[in-house]
Amino acid sequence: MTTSEVTVPAAKVKRRRAMGAGRQLHAGPVTYVVLTVFALASLAPLVWTAIAASRTAHRLDQTPPPLWFGGNLFKNLQSAWDQAGLGTAMFNSLIVAGTITVSTVLFSTLAGFAFAKLRFRFSGLLLLLTIGTMMIPPQLAVVPLYLWMSDLGWSNQLQTVILPSLVTAFGTFFMRQYLVQALPSELIEAARVDGASSLRVVWHVVFPAARPAMAVLGLLTFVFAWNDFLWPIIALNQQNPTVQVALNSLGTGYVPDQAVIMAGALLGTLPLLIAFLLFGKQIVGGIMQGAIKG
Amino acid sequence: MTSPDEALAHSASSADAAPGTPPGAARGAHGRGAPAGADSWRSRLYRWDMKASPYVFVAPFFVLFGAFTLVPLLYTAWYSLHNVQLSALDHQTWAGLDNYQHLLSSDFFWNALENTFTIGLISTVPQLMAAVWLAHLLNYRLRGSTVWRVVMLTPYATSVAAATLVFTLLYSWDGGMVNWVLHFFGAGPVNWRESDWGSQFAVSSIVIWRWTGYNALIYLAAMQAIPTDLYESAAIDGANRWQQFRHVTIPQLRPTILFTVVVSTIGATQLFGEPLLFGGVSGSKGGSEHQYQTLGLYMYDQGWIIGNLGKASAIAWSMFLILLLVAAVNLLLTRRLRKSQ
């Protein structure tokens, strides 16, 4: 056997494996029909939110429900914006989610790099601890956090929401898994030979190698932080809300105008939907690659 | 700098560098043409940097995580043994196991536990089954495969608050889309807000809508890692597509399925936002008859509506203990399953 005879089929097998099992089978019409049903189920509630937001509360009470757009969209958006204070809320959410994202990505990359490539005492144990704590529900921390933040006089202030979410065990583990494979140890050693300090190694070798995973972790963290509900609703009042807290106040108003509520729901989701349109592919890839987190 | 010091530092550094550190490190420290004094200072700094940097890199994570997750976890246990009222935070008295005793003798606690279990079951099981099916379909060679995936994941980008507000309106008694469609098919209207199973189904459907696509992607990732040979040999043995799915795909997916079951169980135990918002004004009560009050909701109601933070802490720890129990049962079941094969 010559080498070429061996390598060609091997490459073929490899390519087929990369394509994945079953993927050589083309989808039949039934598959497309079923997928379309799933897709409609995914999108219909969102589309209908926009339809309902363009109507009046009176029309929404009638049967049959509206199936197409009316002319009230901008009026309702304006009312929702004013009633729920969505301007403040969006700004607050942007600060909260932005800070949490930057901090989580930065510290996860540093810790993930240490766990992936550096040898130090207790590293195995510490990594195990990190993974184990991914299962702790947030409910277990809220009472003490609430009491401490009250003691500090930080009730209703944004740092109350930001501080407990600055790092995540998931992020650390996610970066570690990525860097184990994506960062060649030779690259670090080469930098070491040149006498580079750890900070230089991080800046010039680790960050460039980690950039794709950092982007994905950033997107996932931003979605999570923007949508977080339990702690913000305990920590913040309606005077200084995040978007989710503001939406909650819309829903529990005593004169609920359903069309305005739908307009609020639409506005509150819009920033993420736009982000999704732009980065949906990366988010999908990130979830499939990380394949974790609830 | 004096020369004896330099000599000492030098010999120490080379001795140290010999066994443990990679060859590159030693060369980097010594192989420079710099004057001896500067070199030893640099090499000392360098060695310190090598030793300390891993700890510096993991420190922010552990400090922040410890301060805001692990320490509070223990404090919650401490507060659960105290009488802590929202109206008088400075006045905390020892209560022993009183909070837990109250819980065990409270109908609302058992009701919330039962609701959490029921809603968890009817949201998790159909969701994961649909997700496997969806992943199987997405695994075919498709036109515009990325578009399909992104579309299936859109509900994940929708917040609990927005999604629940929409579904609440879809499920409203009169004029609601769901009842209208039911009427269309000749079925009577369901009171999704007040009826027991109706409201629990409605809350579950919000969870299912938001998370099915997400779980499908996780399954899809696992499916793509299954070697093609397995399917080829199954095909040679005469297995049709369904048999291949049943006897190749599902067994290969087992670890992933177990993983999603665990994650979904944890999520179901914490269920909070959906029932809270579905209830509107009386959200924390979980409906007029507490028909969809979950443990997460019960904790919020006791702690921040009624104002008994000690009891809320006890509920939080009960949730944790239940989770551990569920995890243990899960582990036991999988061991059993593995052995029986």
State the CB neighbour count (10 A cutoff) for residue B288: 11
pLDDT band per the 50, 70, 90 thresholds, residue B194: confident
* Contact yes or no for A272 and B71 at CB 8 A: no
User: For the ranges A63-77, A168-182, A208-222, which has the lowest average pLDDT?
Assistant: A63-77
pLDDT at residue A135, as a whole number:
78
Nearest CA in chain A to B228: A21
User: Structurally, what CATH architecture does the domain formed by A47-287 represent?
Assistant: Orthogonal Bundle (1.10)
**Distance between CA B259 and CA B255 in Å, rounded?**
6
Convert the pLDDT of each residue in A117-140 to its tens digit.
Answer: 998 989 999 999 998 888 788 889
Q: Would you state the pLDDT for residue A25? A: 72
Nearest-Cα residue of chain A relative to residue B173: A61
Q: Which of B22, B140, B259 sits opposite A26 (nearest CB)?
A: B140
User: Which residue of chain A comes nearest to B225, CA vs CA?
Assistant: A20
The total number of structural domains that make up chain B:
1
Of B92, B140, B142, which to mutate for an interface test with A (greatest number of A Cβ within 10 Å)?
B140
Higher pLDDT, B201 or A57: B201
Task: Report if residue B19 sits inside a domain.
Answer: no
Task: Render pLDDT for A256-271 as a digit per residue (tens, 0 to 9).
Answer: 788 999 999 999 999 9
Residues in A closer than 8 angstroms to B84, CB to CB, are 143, 147
* A264 and A182 Cβ atoms separated by less than 8 Å: no
Asked if A23's CB is within 8 angstroms of B141's CB, the reply is yes
Q: Which CATH number fits the domain that encloses residue B113?
A: 1.10.3720.10
Residue environment code for A55-81, b if the CB has 16+ CB neighbours within 10 A, otherwise e: bbbebbeeeebbeeebebbeebbebbb
When pLDDT is cut at 50, 70 and 90, the band that residue A193 belongs to is: confident
Sign of CA dihedral A186, A190, A195, A200: negative
Q: Which residues of B touch A273 (CB under 8 A)?
A: 154, 157-158
Residue B86 maps to a domain: no
DSSP letters, B210-271, are HHHHHHHHHHHHHHHTS-HHHHHHHHHTT--HHHHIIIIIHHHHHHHHHHHHHHHHHHHHT-
The minimal CB distance from B175 to the residues A63, A172, A284 is found for A63
Overall average pLDDT of the B239-247 stretch: 86
Q: Which amino acid is at B129?
A: M
Query: Residue B301: pLDDT band by 50, 70, 90 thresholds?
Result: very high
Q: Residue B262 is part of which domain span?
A: 108-339
Q: A146: pLDDT confidence band, cut at 50, 70 and 90?
A: very high
Closest-CA residue to B206 (of A243, A77, A229, A267): A229
Q: Is residue B314 part of a domain?
A: yes
Across the range B301-312, mean pLDDT stands at 94
- Which of B42, B164, B169 is best to mutate for the A interface (most A CBs within 10 A)? B169
* Residues of chain A with C-beta less than 8 angstroms from the C-beta of B153: 276, 280, 283-284, 287
pLDDT band at B38 (very low <50, low <70, confident <90, very high): low
Q: Which of residues 30-59 of B touch A (CB under 8 A)?
A: 32, 42, 46, 49-50, 53-58
pLDDT tens digits, residue range A102-120?
999 999 999 999 999 998 9
- Cross-chain residue pair A144–B71, CB shorter than 8 Å: yes
Domain ranges across chain A: 47-287
Q: Does B229 reside within a domain?
A: yes
Mean pLDDT of A241-270: 87
